[in-house]
Structure 1
């Protein structure tokens, strides 16, 4: 095979480029990233970019809080700003979820998350336009906010290149090559091959057929999610991200002054083909957004839709990712992020680098076993011990 690399990464989105950058930080610089189109052109480019650590799964909370170091220090660590806005993050719940919120906050603090419970008067100061009377409790993360996933992937890729990695765009992978039960490289769509000591598969939903060719079932389904951008009609000032687990929506400010609306009700999936899905919100989505926003922000009578788009989640049965060695020696999987990939992407790259170099996680708060590929066949799904009634996927 010619050429060859120590590590070939399939996929140039957030997770693949973060893995490349983190590998170079571990001294592995003979890395080739194969991206079928351009860096960040898949699910990464459609991310709503929420940054939060509010997870009931402790390892995810730890990944999110450890990732903040990169978001907060991007200019130093990555060589450029990445569009991170540290507005803070509020999550509000109804009466049935108060105990789960408080128990989850304690567990989050145990792994280093800077979070606290605050009262309605504090939230009213943070979000003066919001109706709060149907909430029963709130949590606040001062270090939360939102960012630009596309810019972040570009920054990972550029930092990896400066350290010696190669990022090949317009380079689709057709096959993972395996000999004697071990991954030996990849075959590209043009028929050429790249040999590798290790292959990292980080291609989102496109990971599934590459594994299926070797008899491995990665249980990912593709869910289409719609985003609506709203002109509030007034200057809201600086407001935090709000995760509304009563109306099941999330809203965050845009730097332009607009509001980004996303749906948090994932109980009814919207299956899609990641190559052919519609990029427009449906009429039903627009009506749902209008109803939810009118309920939560009744004073914004002059608000109106400015634009909309859709993206796809690569969703596993437990809505948690696979970051794991596979049954094929030398093949690492990082896929199935279920809409959570941006906020944990720095930690994902570190964990992938740990698995490649040492075969285990170096952070005791983030056991690799939590994200193992085999958990689905074992019927041992990764679930929050503090689930929210009606919003389980929020964790």
Structure 2
């Protein structure tokens, strides 16, 4: 007999599990999640887990604010620690970006986000030893910080299962099933068996284009390799806020063991990669550039050394924003292209996916589901910041 489910979610990573959890919370439990490996074993575990609401796209800022609220209550919601540490979040800009910063702060306040502009003395108090000569303005979100994407995804999955969602691991989907009229009605597995569904949700990140192509859907995603460093400063990093440096285009946050995680915010020359075959460590030129930037930012590190490095891939769309909604093929729903934003907005992604799948419209007036429509690229209407930053427009 052919297995069936009302909704089949292909991909057991952070976003697919968030959707499963939110669907189940709304009473839709005839949901089957299919994961080719083990849950959260793909790019979810590579996330740097930054939590901030600082976006120039209002829908994204509102989604991130919902994420902060869920993460803040994670123990009560999920009954477990998800690794969220509310250390605060600071963003610093140079003279050419003070106007966009002020405009974004005002927009965030209108959405209810607790945020304030602070001066250099306050930043130095929050981040001892930081060098601020190139900076002209700062915004501070006291409720921001960082979390653990793997722990969070597993919490979504545990809660979804407790509510009745089925999960199958080590189950590879090789193609989508499609009727002559173009409607997707299920998936074919590597063993040749089929699972039929009312709706198939594709939540496979960097691997989405290949599966979309089996139903004739061109998913505009490329895998963008990103490198991260773990730096031992010579003594444990204090419990500092996450800091986004939009002058040097770098971000830093504290790791649980006291190392400093150093990430890249310069996406002007992206490195496209094969998500199944890329170097899982930082290249020497990247290390040299990143360390030089870090030395300028934190010149008083006691005895810095590179502890480790790794790399992952963003599932990047042309406008660096996700696709959440129906595809051109009836019966196929896309939950892809998070372009590095996925962790912080994942609770809202799950909620929006559940809203669109069950009601066809977002339940949050501040989040317009049409912003994330597939057709925006063909329409020539990419989703863009209202207040873009010079040099960092892709990620803001």
Q: Mark yes or no: TM-score above 0.5.
A: yes
TM-score, normalised via structure 2 length? 0.98
Aligned twin of 1:368 = 369
* Counterpart Cα distance in 1 of 2:237 and 2:204: 38
Structural mapping, 1:111-150, within 5 Å: 111-150=111-150
Indicate the larger mover: 169-178 or 221-230.
169-178
Query: In structure 1, how many angstroms separate the alpha carbons of the residues matched to 2:254 and 2:237?
Result: 9
Matched, 1:64 2:64: yes
Map residues 238-387 of structure 1 onto 2, 5 A cutoff. Answer: 238-387=239-388
Consecutive unaligned residues in structure 2, runs of 5 or more: none
- Count residues in correspondence: 395
Structure 1: gaps (5+ residues): none
Is the 8 Å Cα contact of residues 388 and 394 (structure 1) preserved in structure 2? no
Is the CA contact 1:8–1:199 (under 8 Å) kept in the aligned structure 2?
yes
What's 1:6 paired with? 6
Q: 1: CA distance between counterparts of 2:206 and 2:280?
A: 17
Cα distance, 1:32 vs. partner?
Answer: 0.5
Q: CA deviation at 1:166?
A: 0.9
Secondary structure at the aligned position of 1:260 is classed as strand
Shift of 1:182: 2.2
Q: Which residue of the partner structure matches residue 103 of structure 1? A: 103
Match of 1:48? 48
CA deviations on 1:70-102 (whole Å, 9 max, x unpaired) are 211112112211010000000000000000000
The DSSP-based 3-state class of the residue aligned with 1:70 is helix
Partner of residue 230, structure 1: 231
Q: What is the DSSP-based 3-state SS (H/G/I as helix, E as strand, rest coil) of the residue aligned with 2:12?
A: coil
Give the drift of 1:178: 1.9
**Using the alignment, how far apart are the partners of 2:37 and 2:15 within structure 1?**
15
Correspondence for 2:21? 21
Superposed structure 1 runs of 4+ greater than 3 Å apart: none
Tell me the CA shift for residue 301 of structure 1. Answer: 4.4
Give the Cα separation in 1 of the matches to 2:68 and 2:186: 33
SS in 2 for 1:158: helix
Partner Cα distance (2:302, 2:255) in 1: 19
Structural RMSD (CA) = 1.0
Deviation string, structure 1 residues 290-342 (Cα, Å, up to 9, x no partner): 10111100011411110110000010010000001112222110100001100
Counterpart contact for 1:83–1:151, Cα < 8 Å = yes
Distance 2:236 2:314 in 1: 32
Q: How far is the alpha carbon of 1:213 from its aligned partner?
A: 2.1
Provide TM-score, normalisation by structure 1: 0.98
Range moving further from structure 2, 231-240 or 164-173: 231-240
